[in-house]
Amino acid sequence: MNERFTITIHNDNGVRQFNLHRFIMRALLYSVSFIGFIGLVGVATILYLNYSVEEIDKKRLALEASYADLLAKNRKLDQTMLGTQKALETKKEELDEVSSALSDIEAMIGLTSVAEEPLVNRAKQTKLTSEQMATLFQFIPSGSPIEYSGITSKFGYRMHPTLGRNELHRGTDMRASMGTPVFATADAIVEYAEMDKKSGYGKLVILQHNYGFQSYFGHLNEIVIKSGQFIKKGDLIAYTGNTGLSSGPHLHYEIRFISRLVNPFWFIKWDVKNYNEIFEKENKIPWQSLLTATAHIKVQKPTQTPPLSPQVR
């Protein structure tokens, strides 16, 4: 068996022949095949690594995007927490104001304020006061009997505009044009509703209210209620005029407590916003006793007189 290979090479210098043993030839073939395999494996490895690098880059970019989104969410969360903190501080200030207001109301109605007592419990106690306010405003003259446009003559001593002498002005003269509607300022029974020739009030309405209060409406042009009639707060009772000893159209408004004169101005001003002021300004009335007497009375559907415009001063 021939174990050799002959390799013939032709060139410009002639022909050369090389004899190689078959084993060497096989070794060369195996070497070439191995190197080719290694090359293929290397190329495959490089391609796989490139793919892996691309995937890692994609994941890195995704992580960076997620991180940026997380930072944005954290910033938004920080802003939300800051806003919540500010809102809580504002609510705390509001609760402090409510607590302070409750303290004032508690002091006014004679409740003992306990600082450690929950605000909800204190609010439940003062809820009775809100109902009590409605009761007082319903039964005791409060608010303006006409659309408010000012005072022309105050309560107290003055020079009488028609008699020309200094004497006590028993009520408050309210500016009004002829025919202005006049409303009851509290629930009442009509005690008097006609022309009064003796006093100078002209056409006069006297309302008898609860707890010893009376209200007088003088110099009226037309009266639309009758003596003995029961009326509610806010009911139309008359129209302003210029009857009796009057120098011009207006409403003379008086309030009396157990036949004693009181300044109507504080009752005209009296509403929820300045609920406590009247207790200081009008000290002829035993308010604490009155509050105690009305503490358990509740008005189901309280009514209102026409709103003041603008604020009474």
SS3 state at 243: coil
Other residues' Cβ atoms within 10 Å of the Cβ of residue 246? 18
Tell whether the model's pLDDT for residue 121 goes beyond 80: no
The residues spanned by each domain of the chain are 4-69, 139-293
Tens of pLDDT, residue by residue over 192-231, are: 999 998 888 999 999 999 999 999 999 999 999 999 999 9
Which fold is adopted by the domain 139-293?
Answer: Glucose Permease (Domain IIA) (2.70.70)
Question: How sure is the predictor about 109, in pLDDT bands with cuts at 50, 70 and 90?
Answer: very low
Task: Look up residue 167 and give its amino acid.
Answer: E
Binned at pLDDT 50, 70 and 90, residue 309 comes out as: very low
- Please report the pLDDT score of residue 185 as a whole number: 94
**Per-residue pLDDT, 169:** 80
Residue 12: DSSP 8-state: T
Q: How far is CA 113 from each of CA 93, 98, 106, 123, 292, rounded to the nearest angstrom?
A: 19, 13, 7, 11, 18
Strand partners, 301: none
In this predicted structure, the answer to whether residue 47 has a pLDDT above a threshold of 70 is yes
Question: 19 versus 149: which is more confidently predicted?
Answer: 149
Model-level pTM?
0.58
Distance CA 224, CA 190 (A): 11
Which structure tokens are listed for 301?
A: 């559907």
Give me the pLDDT at residue 229, please.
96
pLDDT of residue 311: 56
Residue 145 is predicted with a pLDDT of 94
**Which pLDDT tens digit goes with each residue over 50-67?**
888 888 888 888 888 888
Averaged pLDDT, 9-17: 69
According to the model, what pLDDT value does residue 215 have? 97
